[in-house]
Amino acid sequence: MPAPALKGVIAYPVTPFSPETGEADLPALTRLVGDLVEAGSHAVAPLGSTGESAYLRETEWDAVCETALHAVAGRVPTVVGVSHWSTETTVRRARVAARSGASAVMVLAQTYWKLTEDELARHFTAVAAATDLPVMLYNNPGTSGVDLRPETVAALARKIPNLTMVKESTGDVARFRALLDLSDGALSVYNGNNPVALDAFRSGAAGWCTAAPCLVPDWCLALHAAERSGEHAHADALLEAMLPFLRFIVEHGLPRAVKAGLELQDRHAGPPRPPLLPLPPAPSARLRELLDGLARHPLTGGRAAGRPAPAV
């Protein structure tokens, strides 16, 4: 099964919550997803770890999935994160995503007990068999505790026809080429580690999976455009300018940092859900400095960094 036309900047939205009730704020989610599409993101990926999917009740998860896909309205491809501790719930989520119109689903090895290779293979096979959608395998040992080596991923892809994509987030650039070589180019490879965005593209990655477009879409898209057009020195300069911001949002936790940044931009997404706490005042002040610095940076040509036009 061919992968959907996923390439370029793949934007990961947060899930907004009401500050008063703590419930999912679906109108705010609609606005945020609309902003991402209208800013020019090449694809949207709701319900990743940035979207706090692990903290959602299943009825909430369904509502967030349906709302995000409805907001995209088929304008760009969508990749829905369906991961859960149990195979049963992951399968259920994959089917909901398919019914709601997702282009593909993304599966992380989300575990408590360390899974054997046979258990991982059974889990991924069951999820892939639940729908006809292409599947993106997500390798992020920093959060999952499971490192899916390129050899393991390529072997799984040979056994699972609709496992056509892999998001590799270790930051080990050599893995992008290894995944392509071991799969004879059958796998599309995506980068989930912000600092190596350019190295990943130069090693064959088809796309950059990132939450940064929630706050600075112009910068992310400019970097991709410069790299794609062969303006490598300009792309390098853009990434160098962005790196303090990109490192900050990961180091402070994407839901905390992105929601704090949206608040600073008067685009309210509420607090993260407990046990997560909002970003404290001192880091929030630093985030303001970083965003203001990007807004004033000469590479922006005087435009406000990443602030989309107000929704109408």
Q: Please identify every residue annotated as catalytic.
A: 138, 167
- Angle at CA 74, nearest 5°, toward 69 and 79? 55
CA dist 188 and 35 (Å) reads: 27
Q: Helix %, strand %, coil % for the chain, to 5?
A: 50, 10, 40
278: its two tokens: 């909002």
Those residues with Cβ within 8 angstroms of residue 285's Cβ, 6 or more apart along the chain or in another chain:
none
**Pairing state of beta strands 8-11 and 207-210?**
parallel
Q: What's the rounded Cα separation, in Å, for the pair 249 and 256? A: 8
Bond preceding residue 281 cis, omega within 30 of 0: no
Q: Largest Cα–Cα distance of the chain, in whole Å?
A: 54
In angstroms, the CA 64 to CA 165 distance is 23
Both tokens assigned to 306: 């990443």
The span from the CA of 271 to the CA of 20, in Å, is: 10
Determine the Cα–Cα distance for residues 64 and 80; give it in Å rounded to an integer. 10
Tell me the angle at which helices 254-264 and 232-251 cross, rounded to the nearest 10 degrees. Answer: 110
Nearest residue to 90 via CA among 51, 132, 54 = 54
The Cα 150–Cα 189 span in angstroms is: 11
- The tokens for 181 are 């070589």
Q: How far apart are CA 83 and CA 93, in angstroms?
A: 8
